[in-house]
Structure 1
Amino acid sequence: MNDNFLEPQPLGVPCPQCQKELQLKKGRFGLFVGCSGYPDCDYMTSADFDPGTDVTCPDCGSGKLVQKTSRYGHSFYACDRYPSCRFSVPLPPVAEACPKCAYPVLLRKKTTAGERLICGNSDCDYKSAIR
């Protein structure tokens, strides 16, 4: 990529709607892929640099948890089957079961003392030792 990252970067891939070239662009919510023919063509999709985690959604059981950005710029992890599944967590998920309640997802929490795993179930108070 070029030094000036605010400029659209050509991707060499044709737009599925108008066949013009797709570009990697930076918007107020982060990176996205858009058509170079904008405003005539309004095709837009997310930039999949972090396609997600290998953690299966504990609510629906079929989706994967992917990193997303809120409208305020904060990262969170949500099911990729949204809107049919609305599961989300504020911390990076780990595909390990909780030893206390057997909830299938632990969350990686960084503190000033170090990093620890906490249970993704709000009713459980499990916290691992500081690593």
Structure 2
Amino acid sequence: MTDNFLEPQSLGVPCPRCERDLQLKKGRFGLYVGCSGYPDCDYMTAADFDPGTDAACPACQQGKLVQKTSRFGNSFYACDQYPKCKFSVNLPPVQEQCPKCQFPLLLKKKTSAGERWICADDSCDYKSSIK
């Protein structure tokens, strides 16, 4: 009996550090993507890695908001310029300007009634109609 799902599977994507092939691997904490050149190259990332969104960071205007996972397993979106910029939000960002306060970022909030956009600025109480 063979366990093919335990053997590293090539993804056909070059490693950003050493240009060797990236592989889908299984570790004791689940699936991850790692370099085939291990231990010479120790590059790895989560198997469900999301490279980011198209939303620019409203705090520093230099970085992009990328999806990250907290130590408790919750997803959040933070600026990729961390630790220089510590802006983060808990809901998926949308690159739209708030019609009420002109803040450059809205958040996508899902409710039982449907989906709506809310302003990312804490001092603004803008909410769009349910879509």
TM-score, with structure 2 as normaliser = 0.78
Q: Which residue of 2 aligns with 1:127?
A: 127
| Stretches of structure 1 lacking an aligned partner (at least 5 in a row) | none
Q: How many aligned positions are there? A: 126
Change over 3 Å in CA distance of 1:78–1:113 after alignment to 2: same
Change over 3 Å in CA distance of 1:105–1:26 after alignment to 2: farther
Q: Equivalents in 1 of 2:65, 2:16: separation in Å?
A: 27
Aligned to 1:33, the other structure's residue is in SS state strand
Change over 3 Å in CA distance of 1:35–1:106 after alignment to 2: same
Aligned to 1:25, the other structure's residue is in SS state strand
Q: Equivalents in 1 of 2:82, 2:40: separation in Å?
A: 25
| Aligned counterparts, 1:20-99, within 5 A | 21-25=21-25, 28=29, 32-38=32-38, 40-41=39-40, 43-46=42-45, 50-99=50-99
Residues 56-102 of structure 1 deviation map (CA, whole Å, 9 limit, x = unaligned): 10011011111111122111111111221111110010111111111
Is the contact made by 1:34 and 1:42 (CA closer than 8 Å) also made in structure 2? no
Write the letter of the residue equivalent to 2:40: C
User: By how many angstroms is 1:121 displaced?
Assistant: 0.6
| Stretches of structure 2 lacking an aligned partner (at least 5 in a row) | none
